[in-house]
Amino acid sequence: MKSRSLAAFAASVAAPVVLISAALTTRPLPAAEPAPPAAGQAATQWKSLYSEKCSACHNLPKPEEKAMTRGEWQKTVNRMLTKYHASDSISPAEAGHIVDYLATFAPKGGDNNAADPWGVDRMDVWGTPPCSTQVLNFEGPSAMARVTPIGASAKWRIVADSQSPDGNSVQVSCPTGTPSKFAMLGTQGASGQDLDVRVRFKIVNGKMSPAVGVAFGMQDLSHYSVLRYDQAHNDLALILVNGAIHTTLQKTSLNGDPAPIAPQVPGTPAKAAPAPVRALSIAPNQWHTLRVSVKDGEVRGWIDMNKRLSIKDDGYRGGKVALWSQGDTTASFDDWTVDIYDTQPSMKPAA
């Protein structure tokens, strides 16, 4: 099987490469980080670090010698992050320093070269390796042994898919589902508060409410948060599920609309988008990616590596993680990666 590495799903950058593994793995702790340089030495050291770790190996352009376009700059950042996630040759601290260095060359100015306001920043790069990493690519006869279907009416099964790099994916279908019903597929053992979850998805069918997502912070079947992509409305939303009450904490249209992002919380003012958002084309019946990360209660959401949600959730407590679909949606998932950055007490069973 080919080995692939997911490049942190950096916002607005090139297509992802996903690390495939059939087993639960834990990344070793890195060696102690070197002491930071004095302020006057920092710029020179980070420039040398970029040259040594990135440009020398991958023939990346030297930003101080070339007026980068927005696309070139983002591609450079993404390829650096790809190398970071693919090996242990770049430490978390070094990755952060390289992002800082490249950020000084981010294109600014006119509309054609303006840096994406949802672009990569330090909060998107974890400063420490995860405590545990669980990767599920749904290959092999025991693929379903590591997951738990949640919801009796939905059917989860392994299907062959010629468009999947691995050949197989897991598919959910619920022909009798209604928009108020949800199907979930939980991991066995993955639970935490600070986390980073990535998955590939493809919506195959759905007449009433085709939508998929990643549920996290799950206390039980009726209490969790979900990063949801709604195909009918082409939007990305962070939704808090508290029994029968579903609260949209933040929502962003992917049609390029500059409309405010309005939390549906009584007494809470609407939060305006930071800038007109570039439209995204999420083609049906094709593979796309979702990513959600939570760091110190800051929740961020990506689709196809484009960051489109960012909000502080003071009520977030952590919990289990699950794949999620709505109503009569038929959808496939693959290359599901769950990084946990802290250890949490066991939560109540999700089903």
18 in a structural domain: no
Q: Are 19 and 25 in contact (CB under 8 A)?
A: no
Q: Which of 75, 96, 124 is the last residue of a domain?
A: 124
Strands, E assignment, the chain: 24-25, 132-136, 147-150, 155-160, 168-173, 182-192, 195-205, 211-220, 223-230, 235-242, 245-253, 288-295, 298-303, 306-312, 319-326, 330-340
Q: Are 275 and 216 in contact (CB under 8 A)?
A: no
313 in a structural domain: yes
Residues 188 and 317 in one domain: yes
Q: Which two tokens stand for residue 134?
A: 């669980």
Low-confidence residues of the chain: pLDDT under 50: 1-40, 108-115, 259-260, 262, 264, 270, 272-273, 344-351
Residues 152 and 36 in one domain: no
Count, in order, helices (H) and strands (E) of the chain: 4, 16
351 in a structural domain: no
Tell me the per-residue pLDDT of 286-325, one tens digit each, with 9 for 90 and over.
Answer: 999 999 999 999 999 999 988 899 998 988 999 999 999 9
Looking only at the bridges linking them, the beta strands covering 223-230 and 211-220 are antiparallel
Residues 145 and 278 in one domain: yes
Domain membership of residue 249 as a residue range: 132-340
CA distances from 134 to 20, 26, 63 (A): 10, 8, 36
Q: Total structural domains in the chain?
A: 2
| Helix, strand, coil in percent for the chain, rounding step 5 | 15, 35, 50
15 in a structural domain: no
Q: Backbone phi, then psi, for 129, in 5-degree steps?
A: -70, 155
Tell me the per-residue pLDDT of 28-77, one tens digit each, with 9 for 90 and over.
Answer: 333 444 444 444 455 567 777 777 766 655 555 565 555 555 556 666 66
CATH at 173: 2.60.120.560
Task: Check residue 49 and give its pLDDT.
Answer: 73
327 in a structural domain: yes
Task: Check residue 339 and give its pLDDT.
Answer: 93
Task: Check residue 80 and give its pLDDT.
Answer: 63
Residues 313 and 207 in one domain: yes
Task: Check residue 194 and give its pLDDT.
Answer: 94
Residues 158 and 263 in one domain: yes
22 in a structural domain: no
Q: Which of 82, 101, 124 is the last residue of a domain?
A: 124
